[in-house]
Amino acid sequence: MSAITAVIKRPVEWAWFGLLAAAMLAGAVAVGFVMAKGHGQVFNLTREIPWGILISTYVFFVVSSTGLCLVSSLGDVWGFREFEVIGRRGHLLAILTLVTGFGVMAMELNHPFRMALYAIISPNLSSPIWWMGTLYGVYLILLCGEFTALMIGSRRLSFVFGLLGFFAAISAHSNLGAVFGLLEARHYWYGSFLPIYFILSALVSGGALTALIVYFNHRARGIPLSADYQRFMLTVGRLQALFLGILMFFIIWKIIPGVYGQPPEKYEATMALVSGPLAFNFWFFEVLVGMVIPFLLLVNRRTLTPFGVTVAGLLCTVGIFFMRYDLVIAGQIVPMRESAGEGPVRLLQYFPSLAEMAIVAAAVAFCLFLYTLAEKFLPMEGGHRH
């Protein structure tokens, strides 16, 4: 039986690695173009929209990392037994998504090496980006400590690293919200909403991704879910429904102050989402795919199955990717200088270039590639009570 599955698995594995390699190659070509021609020529960024899909993809990856850490810590730190099965995989993927996120941001920065130098020898302690980078650095170290503790099976160490990592994750991640939230000039971003919203949306990301890795691991190996994993899937599904229910109200309360009384600039940015150039992304991907359908799947007893939770997780992940994109673009879509003529405020335009999209695809592939290798070579089972 196992010989048959090995034979059947091999072409699938080849196809999987081939797909990942193709995406990474496309990204490498795009990076080559950037190095040869410069960011300005290759990316569709402008003076007025200097942050594009690479920044939103960076946000997507680091949100995923935080979410994975928070959800995985439910078992090792907060004592929810159902979540202990996800400890190793969750923390490993948290490390990989964080590293991939850093990589995507390095592609967006014009001088990533200068950053490494001057962030240390010339730090600006009033800069949210400086704090974000530093806190994520601390978080990465703690994640590695936690993963090591889980791999050597030290419950005490994993508790200590997990607890510290939990607070580092929330500090770093809410600080990422502050990178946007502390810009007084950007009415759509400014305020304390984003740091708080980022923590909640990380939980949604984490719930979705932990369900996906459990399901696809078993699927790829052709083994059925054990009772522990079945219980985990149903618990994470219920929890995910709760997170999504709260997230919907976060979105509603982000939209209402944006349209109520038509506050200048905030109103135009919000309307770009509600009925403007970002409306399809917002209503279809964010609301329908990212929240409503997964929520209905998870609250319906007939679809609250491991497969249903996986589908909901996949939809959530896609929706969250668009949430990050829309958030980054909507904040910049209203020009800082008033336009000429009568009529409504002119909105700026941005659509990612082929090279930007290739780098995004390569980043996703790179993360999946590293994760697949880890699954092949590291003992990911264990580290929990069976």
Partner 1 sequence: MSEKRYAIVLETRRCLDCKACTVACKAENLVPLGPENHRNWVTEERLRGRYPRLGQEFTPGQCMHCGNAPCKRVCPTRATGVSPEGIITVDEKKCIGCKYCMTACPYDARYYSEELGAVDKCTFCAHRLAQGRLPACVETCPTKVRTFGDLGDPQSAVSRLLAKAPHRVQKPEMGTRPFLFYLV
Binding site for partner 1 (CB under 8 A): 38-41, 46-48, 50-51, 109-112, 114-115, 118-119, 122-124, 126-130, 133, 179, 182-186, 331-332, 335-338, 340-342
* Cβ-based nearer residue to partner 1, 128 or 177: 128
Residue 377: which residues within 8 A CB-CB, separation 6 or more?
Answer: none
Report, in Å, the least distance between residue 340 CB and partner 1.
4
Residue 111: which residues within 8 A CB-CB, separation 6 or more?
Answer: none
d(CA 213, CA 270): 34
Report, in Å, the least distance between residue 65 CB and partner 1.
20
Report, in Å, the least distance between residue 190 CB and partner 1.
10
* Cβ-based nearer residue to partner 1, 1 or 184: 184
Residue 367: which residues within 8 A CB-CB, separation 6 or more?
Answer: 61, 96, 97, 100
Rg for the chain (alpha carbons), in Å?
21
Q: How far is CA 67 from CA 37, 232, 271, in A?
A: 36, 16, 29
* Cβ-based nearer residue to partner 1, 38 or 153: 38
* Cβ-based nearer residue to partner 1, 31 or 129: 129
* Cβ-based nearer residue to partner 1, 89 or 173: 173
Report, in Å, the least distance between residue 330 CB and partner 1.
13
Report, in Å, the least distance between residue 172 CB and partner 1.
15
d(CA 11, CA 6): 10
* Cβ-based nearer residue to partner 1, 317 or 332: 332
Residue with tokens 């992940």: 317
Give the N- to C-terminal CA distance of the chain in Å, as an integer: 25
Report, in Å, the least distance between residue 78 CB and partner 1.
34
Report, in Å, the least distance between residue 228 CB and partner 1.
44
* Cβ-based nearer residue to partner 1, 124 or 300: 124
- Amino acid in the structure at residue 45: L
Report, in Å, the least distance between residue 59 CB and partner 1.
14
Phi-psi region of 262 (alpha: psi -120 to 50; beta: other; left: phi over 0): left
Q: Computed from CA positions of residues 376, 378, 380, 381, in that sequence, does the dihedral angle turn out positive or negative?
A: positive
Phi-psi region of 63 (alpha: psi -120 to 50; beta: other; left: phi over 0): alpha
**Tell me, what DSSP letter sits at residue 301?**
T
Q: Computed from CA positions of residues 274, 279, 280, 281, in that sequence, does the dihedral angle turn out positive or negative?
A: negative
* Cβ-based nearer residue to partner 1, 91 or 186: 186
